[in-house]
Chain A
Amino acid sequence: MTDHPPLSLHVPEPAVRPGGRPDFSNIRIPRAGQVARPAVDVDAEAIRDLAFSVIRVLNRDGEAVGPWAGSLSDDELLEGLRHMMTLRAFDARMQMAQRQGKTSFYMQHMGEEAVSCAFRKALSPGDMNFPTYRQAGLLIAGGYSLVEMACQIYSNTHDPLKGRQLPVMYSSREHGFFSISGNLATQYIQAVGWAMASAIKNDTKIAVGWIGDGATAESDFHAALVFASTYRAPVVLNIVNNQWAISTFQGIARGGSGTFAARGLGFGIPALRVDGNDYLAVHAVAKWACERARRNLGPTLIEHVTYRVGAHSTSDDPAGYRPKTESEAWPLGDPVIRLKNHLIVRGAWSEERHRQTEAEIMDTVIAAQKEAESHGTLNSLQHASARDMFEGVFSEMPPHLRRQRQEAGV
């Protein structure tokens, strides 16, 4: 006989469910400018606290404050604002195009635009991102063509991936954007391998891995951290914590650990948390981590604390799993509005210019969309041929595929 009561299973629950009042009181957010900026060659052990804090630059008044501020000029910030606005406009048009039946699927970035747009500006030509599906800002801020993006989404005759991939699973070697898998987390360890290769070849390029909060539970994440740690790979490993993995709140993947960044500590990897809705903070942290990688000081783990305002994809309705007004209660605000306000405080921007720019950007996006649609949409059946389907499985088509292509009569 035992004196213990029967065991029971703990299943974490989010603070609030649909119908409840949104509550983010569990997220501790320090004031902007409070977190120290260590030297890039700092020992991971010496900055353990950064895995539990949040690096922030923009304060409530729109001022850039503290040791992580000051890395970007007015022009660079205006460019960053345009990138985020372009991504938001593009999302709006593509989301609508999906609803109109022009494509099968779409995933938007609403609320997370700063993460990929700001990070991209810390990279150099030749560096390689291993993204997941909500980092199209890497492409837009890297100068990739909106038309090509839309052609991929429409799987039309000008789709650079020949209709082989789901919408938004872009690939552009030229723009440092590795082919998106769609299987979660696989890219994380590949980023580490790519970075190891760069080190093996005594190259100067670095790799950047991307993963969502939910996918950190995959074994690939842990393999990536142990390989990055063991070989001190020149890689920056980003976790985009947007609070939700489809309907599953981040506590299911995080478990009892305080933060996702804290996962890095056991591997001896410097781990930082950053306000993912603060363009300046993301850029400053990205620059710090990239500098570490480039100086052969090894990997850095960054948790971007942000919020997915929209649905996971066009295939789910967030009203089924979280309060409808939750995004309004998100304490870190909107990345576009925050950067806009900062530029206004700096005297480099105005509400009127912002409205004008918004309209101009929408015109540009619509023009790109129209050009893409002139090459077809998914429902117009203008796409790569059935014959193309058999190409590219191998570098040279083996006899059995040739026979099958013949059988298909294409």
Chain B
Amino acid sequence: MPRKTMIEAIRDAMDVMMSRDDDVVVFGEDVGYFGGVFRASQGLQAKYGKSRCFDTPISELGIVGAAVGMAAYGLKPCVEIQFADYMYPAYDQIVSEAARLRYRSNGQFTCPLVLRMPTGGGIFGGQTHSQSPEALFTHVCGIKTVVPSNPSDAKGLLIAAIEDPDPVIFLEPKRLYNGPFDGHHDRPVTPWSKHDLGDVAEGHYTVPLGRAAIRRPGEAVTILAYGTMVHVAESAVAETGIDAEIIDLRTLLPLDLDTIETSVKKTGRCVIVHEATLTSGFGAELCALVQTRCFYHLEVPIVRVAGWDTPYPHAQEWDYFPGPARVSRALTETLEA
């Protein structure tokens, strides 16, 4: 099985879907001729022509609004928002339009579109190239939110997202594009070619939306994570030697609550990790669900490790980023509590 980077896996997913289905179109800022600033769509315009892969004006509102119209026509747009941080001008089109079209028209019009957006920090992107806005999407009725953590999943999840009959937000942790970044920013990066999950099967396959993966089975504590934080959690577990069960949520909505519940009932402890800011973050939802489902199995309070409630700083990036040291501390405290 060939090893690919996450960018190559994402490109592969779009390539597979564009060749299988003429209704799949790919567009966004710098997406056409140049192939995207992260090169996700490289070669797709040359292969499928300018009417199926093209550059757009710098208008996220325009990109998403046009995609909603195209989806209503019957196409399956797979659109790139250059950075998730640029999504805000399109928010009305996502919340009031894409998400509600099926409901408000009683199914006369639907909106099968995918919005890909690089998310998260770790690249010295400052406050406008580092945010993790997933909770702004999971709070909206009518859209699904997906965050892959590795190339193999990224391809299968993106194909599933493109085939999904409803709008899907596909958040790509940009720090994972080239390797399984574990939060140790001062060490050399491991490439995906040296990681098992860099194995990306050829052709068409899907990873179903709404299904979590257990990355590491364990008995002592359950870690709920997604995206980059899955690797940070793995690093913390290796360093503390704690027998944690790491659950990679993969899809935040719909959420695989059964997998979470089974695990927490087994371990009696739960640490939730995300890079996004703490207050009203997706961790708050997870926390509420876990305590409702597992209250009488919990030995200690649920702990959240998240980005601080500040804008994402530039120079202090690694003070902000919830790295392995903070996760390790939370794990140790949870077990000692």
Residues in chain A within 8 A of chain B (CB atoms) = 128, 130, 160-162, 164-165, 169, 171-174, 178-179, 181, 183, 186, 188-201, 207, 219-220, 222-224, 226-227, 230, 392-395, 398-400
Report which of A198, A227, A399 forms a contact with B73, defined as CB distance below 8 A: A198
Is the CB–CB distance between A165 and B104 below 8 Å? yes
Range of interface residues on B (Cβ < 8 Å): 35 or more
In the assembled complex, the CB of A191 is this many whole angstroms from the nearest CB of chain B, namely 6
Which residues in B have their C-beta under 8 angstroms from that of A161?
Answer: 104-106
Is the CB–CB distance between B66 and A164 below 8 Å? no
In the assembled complex, the CB of B23 is this many whole angstroms from the nearest CB of chain A, namely 8
Is the CB–CB distance between B105 and A171 below 8 Å? yes
Number of interchain pairs (Cβ within 8 Å): 142
A108 to B107: give the CA distance in the assembly, Å.
27
In the assembled complex, the CB of A78 is this many whole angstroms from the nearest CB of chain B, namely 32
Is the CB–CB distance between B105 and A197 below 8 Å? no
Is the CB–CB distance between A197 and B69 below 8 Å? yes
Report which of B106, B109, B142 forms a contact with A162, defined as CB distance below 8 A: B106
A91 to B80: give the CA distance in the assembly, Å.
44
Is the CB–CB distance between A219 and B68 below 8 Å? no
Report which of B59, B67, B97, B108 forms a contact with A226, defined as CB distance below 8 A: B59
Which residues in A have their C-beta under 8 angstroms from that of B68?
Answer: 190, 193
Is the CB–CB distance between A171 and B102 below 8 Å? no
User: Please, what's the 1-or-0 string for B230-265, where 1 marks a CB less than 8 Å from any CB in chain A?
Assistant: 000000000000000000000001110100000000
Is the CB–CB distance between B210 and A398 below 8 Å? yes
Which residues in A have their C-beta under 8 angstroms from that of B101?
Answer: 179
A165 to B109: give the CA distance in the assembly, Å.
14
- Taking A200-B25, A227-B57, A395-B166 as given, write out 4 further A-B residue pairs in contact, using a Cβ cutoff of 8 Å, ordered by the A residue number: A130-B69, A220-B65, A227-B62, A398-B253
Which residues in A have their C-beta under 8 angstroms from that of B166?
Answer: 394-395
Is the CB–CB distance between B69 and A194 below 8 Å? yes
Is the CB–CB distance between A197 and B75 below 8 Å? yes
Is the CB–CB distance between A393 and B142 below 8 Å? yes
Report which of A179, A199, A219, A220 forms a contact with B104, defined as CB distance below 8 A: A179
Q: Which one of B74, B96, B105 has the highest number of Cβ atoms from chain A below 10 Å of its Cβ?
A: B105
CB closest residue in chain B, given A166: B104
Identify 8 residue pairs between A and B in the complex whose beta-carbon atoms are under 8 Å apart, listed by A's number: A172-B108, A173-B108, A189-B69, A190-B65, A193-B70, A200-B25, A200-B52, A226-B59
B43 at the interface (CB under 8 A from A): no
Task: Give the contacts of B64-109 with A (CB-CB under 8 A).
Answer: 65-70, 72-75, 89, 92-93, 96-97, 101-109
A173 to B241: give the CA distance in the assembly, Å.
60
Which residues in A have their C-beta under 8 angstroms from that of B108?
Answer: 171-174, 179
Is the CB–CB distance between A196 and B70 below 8 Å? yes
Report which of B57, B62, B97, B102 forms a contact with A393, defined as CB distance below 8 A: B102
Which residues in B have their C-beta under 8 angstroms from that of A169?
Answer: 104
In the assembled complex, the CB of B42 is this many whole angstroms from the nearest CB of chain A, namely 21
Is the CB–CB distance between A189 and B107 below 8 Å? no
Report which of A172, A230, A399 forms a contact with B57, defined as CB distance below 8 A: A230
